Structure 1
Amino acid sequence: MPARLQEIPLEYFKKAINWLRTQPEVQPKKIAIIGLSKGAEAALLVAATYPEINAVIAYAPSALIHQGLGATNEDPRERSSWTYRGQQLPFLPYHPSAAFVEYIQHQRQAQAPVAFRRAYMESLQNQIYLEQARIPVEKIRGPILIISGQEDLMWPSTLFGDMIEERLNNHYHPYPHQHISYADAGHKIGYPYLPTTIAHARGNAYGGTPEGNAYATEHAWQALLTFLKQTLA
């Protein structure tokens, strides 16, 4: 595996799927994949690539394959987050505006968290790469549950969730799909009953209010359990 979130081969996930299907306690035709943020990007892409995945739960997802994370001054080349059969998958590059770069510098100097949502919104204006970077979610052979927070400051996950829904509908996706979007919730909708007063970490702003995030994590968890029971039971 690469040291950075760049050029991760989808075949890595295929190995995991194959191993999981051989385990005696696993029903091989009832396998779901779940991911959060870049993990949700991966989950949707893996499920669209490998029909062995029977259901998808995508927390704070992207509708697009984005540029990989981890470029350095020594190696600033733009790379895809994912590869398949040795080739980079088409991706949406980051070309932040001068105003956003100035904002980052200001936040770092002030030791304040950075909200990257604006950079992702700016990248959506890149029509040259936008269409080819869309995840082909219509190829997913199973139900899909999308969960997002409307106050996500990392990236516009609610917008991305709507884009996923639109693509599924436009392609007459034959399986159930649902997008649950929470007001006052941010990027970190995850396990319930954990502290939600931390709205940023590692210098990144996630968004949402403590109350909104707490409600979203609890409600989304119940929605996840219901989804799995209905689709894989």
Structure 2
Amino acid sequence: MRWKNAAMVTAGITTLLGGAALFKGLAPNRYGLPEIEVLAPGATGKRVAQGELFGNYFPAQGPDAGPGPHPAVLLLGGSEGGLGSGARQMALALQQEGFAVFQIAYFGAPGQTDALEGIRLELFDKGLDWLKTQPGVDATRIAVMGASKGAEAALLVAARRSDVAAVVAGMPTSVAWNGINWASGGQSDRSSWTAGGKEVPTMPFGDWDQADGIISVYRTIEDPARQTEADRAAIPIERGRAEVLLVCGEAETMWPACPMSRQVAARSKARSGPPVTVLSYKDAGHFVFGPPIARDHRFYPRLGEYGGSVEGNAAARANSWPQVIAFLRRAMVDT
């Protein structure tokens, strides 16, 4: 990653936090680094700490759960790392809809690197394999869900696993990007991900534009002259079998999630891949994805901070979340 102004890089990366960071204070600690939450699962879940695997598991509950076996979701947070409260909120909402959920940590948790770089995709494979063996889980009905950088990982995982039935990605990308390392001000020269011991190819960043903000460095993905580089770094969604649902805001100011969502859909269609549905919202941004938020919640006034209005993001979440649940039920429960 070579952005022209290191201070701008740090400020920009600080805000590139997935939906799972929604309820964090985002205040840096005494070392100037962002705090990483590693939250306990609460009364309806349990902590998982088995070898490389670290996370919170939430067995299926809810009035419609029934005796099982139940469909299950591997849930990936974003660049906030650890086990964040926003992702836990998603996990609890899914749990009450009758899904078993494994909220897996992939950096920033005990025994893990503090940097989002060189994360082994095989870790998510192990998470899926563990999830499929849990009592009451139907191993034939598995989905992956993620937001922002977690969406990037979710799509990569779905592309390499033929046993994943569905993938839901909020504020997604169509390509892999470089990682995030707070020890170097947020910058990293490494890919976010590795597979088979090799770094996943990444899309080069563009130059910082002060007027456009952080999204400016991601505009390379919209440049026809960079198509060869985009193809090299593209997530090969056509290799998987999972039905795909993407949720994005057209007013996004973090990265161009809606244009990249349409690129994912176009690539899959052109290469005879799985069906891809895009839910886009005109007046929403980087907080477009997740369960609805009540007006009296302390975070509600901040929903429009990274694109769109407060009301637009709130309406998008209220509209899209029931469609997420319906999509998962159709793709997994009703098969």
Deviation at 1:41, TM superposition (A): 0.5
Q: Which residue of 2 aligns with 1:111?
A: none
Q: Say if 1:36 and 1:61, in contact at 8 Å, map to a contact too.
A: yes
Report the Cα distance in structure 2 between the residues aligned to 1:74 and 1:148, rounded to whole angstroms.
28
Cα deviation code 1:92-148 (max 9, x no counterpart):
132424xx2xx29xxxxxxxxx94111101465444522110000111212111110
Q: Say if 2:285 and 2:306, in contact at 8 Å, map to a contact too.
A: yes
1:186 equivalent in alignment to 2:285: yes
Change (3 A) 1:61 1:140: same
Deviation at 1:53, TM superposition (A): 1.4
Q: Say if 2:178 and 2:188, in contact at 8 Å, map to a contact too.
A: no
Q: Say if 2:249 and 2:281, in contact at 8 Å, map to a contact too.
A: yes
Count of residues in Structure 1 that have an aligned counterpart in Structure 2 = 215
SS at match of 2:181: coil
Moved more, 143-152 or 75-84: 75-84
Report the Cα distance in structure 1 between the residues aligned to 2:143 and 2:291, rounded to whole angstroms.
17
Deviation at 1:77, TM superposition (A): 5.3
Report the Cα distance in structure 1 between the residues aligned to 2:257 and 2:187, rounded to whole angstroms.
26
Report the Cα distance in structure 1 between the residues aligned to 2:200 and 2:176, rounded to whole angstroms.
8
Change (3 A) 1:180 1:71: same
| Matches for 1:10-25 after TM superposition, within 5 Å | 10-25=121-136
SS at match of 1:56: strand
Change (3 A) 1:231 1:123: closer
Change (3 A) 1:24 1:43: same
Cα deviation code 1:174-216 (max 9, x no counterpart):
x43210100100011222124432147xxxx511101100110
Q: Say if 1:9 and 1:84, in contact at 8 Å, map to a contact too.
A: yes
1:116 equivalent in alignment to 2:214: yes
Structure with the larger RCO, 1 or 2 (CA within 8 Å, 6+ apart): 1
Amino acid at match of 1:46: V
Q: Which residue of 1 aligns with 2:265?
A: 165
Structure with the largest fraction of helix:
1
Report the Cα distance in structure 2 between the residues aligned to 1:139 and 1:231, rounded to whole angstroms.
18
Change (3 A) 1:74 1:44: closer
Aligned equivalent of 1:149, options 249, 270, 279: 249
Q: Which runs of 5+ in 2 are unaligned?
A: 1-111
Q: Which residue of 2 aligns with 1:54?
A: 165
1:224 equivalent in alignment to 2:315: no
Amino acid at match of 2:300: T
SS at match of 2:277: strand
Q: Say if 2:249 and 2:284, in contact at 8 Å, map to a contact too.
A: yes
Report the Cα distance in structure 1 between the residues aligned to 2:213 and 2:188, rounded to whole angstroms.
23
Q: Say if 2:181 and 2:188, in contact at 8 Å, map to a contact too.
A: no
Q: CA RMSD in A?
A: 2.1
Normalising by structure 2, report the TM-score. 0.60
1:43 equivalent in alignment to 2:142: no
1:7 equivalent in alignment to 2:118: yes
Aligned equivalent of 1:138, options 238, 250, 253: 238
SS at match of 1:28: strand
